[in-house]
A and B are shown apart, each in its own frame.
Chain A
Amino acid sequence: RKEVEQDPGPFNVPEGATVAFNCTYSNSASQSFFWYRQDCRKEPKLLMSVYSSGNEDGRFTAQLNRASQYISLLIRDSKLSDSATYLCVVPPGGSQGNLIFGKGTKLSVKP
């Protein structure tokens, strides 16, 4: 299994739609996970951290299933400004190691 695997996308959705992205990871020792957002030719910016079974922040909900090594990101009532690439990022399992990035899922929200 690849270290971090994401839906390839692109996802093209209308404004107001609900959209979900999936991510699977191979390092069972990882304890926390991140969703970053990356706009075209810009730096990744932290969207959400996931430390337990899930996290919710406004329209965004992240869920974690450790048994299946699976993370999801749900965006409700999508806005035009949500158009970006969403990166699933898995840290190392301990104090050593480095962030492993997925290839990202591109979202395009249309009016």
Chain B
Amino acid sequence: EPEVTQTPSHQVTQMGQEVILRCVPISNHLYFYWYRQILGQKVEFLVSFYNNEISEKSEIFDDQFSVERPDGSNFTLKIRSTKLEDSAMYFCASSEQGPAETQYFGPGTRLLVL
């Protein structure tokens, strides 16, 4: 069964450093998403991406965040200057149709900012 993959599984970084989280969505899916989940809290939407551009973003997704689809398979989330409060689990998801359809989640990257 096809699945969303993410690398790395864990990332530890110093405050102020840049991190890039990588995702490979399911191959025939057209819509891609990033979510985050701070420990003990609910899953929060960050951004959705379709047709090589951002289709929607939340208030969390400020100028420190960016997304890119550098090739035909990868989908990345970059945090330019990490803050302590960026520590969370970051999930990538993809769906065949739009955001109202079933989204399939990757295993997540646990980011710890020190």
Contact = CB atoms under 8 A, between A and B. Distances in A.
Given A43-B91, A87-B43, A99 B99 contact: yes
A101 B43 contact: yes
A46 B42 contact: no
Interface in B18-63: 33, 41-45, 48, 55-56, 58
A34 B45 contact: no
A99 B55 contact: no
A14 interface: no
A104 B110 CA distance: 20
Contact of B99 (A31, A43, A98, A101): A98
B18 to A, nearest CB: 24
A103 B99 contact: no
Nearest to B106: A43
Nearest to A90: B100
Given A43-B108, A96-B55, A103 B100 contact: no
Nearest to A45: B105
28 contacts: A30-B100, A31-B100, A34-B102, A41-B89, A42-B108, A43-B91, A43-B105, A43-B106, A44-B43, A44-B91, A45-B105, A46-B102, A49-B102, A87-B42, A87-B43, A92-B99, A94-B100, A95-B98, A95-B100, A96-B56, A97-B56, A97-B99, A98-B48, A98-B58, A98-B99, A100-B45, A101-B42, A103-B42
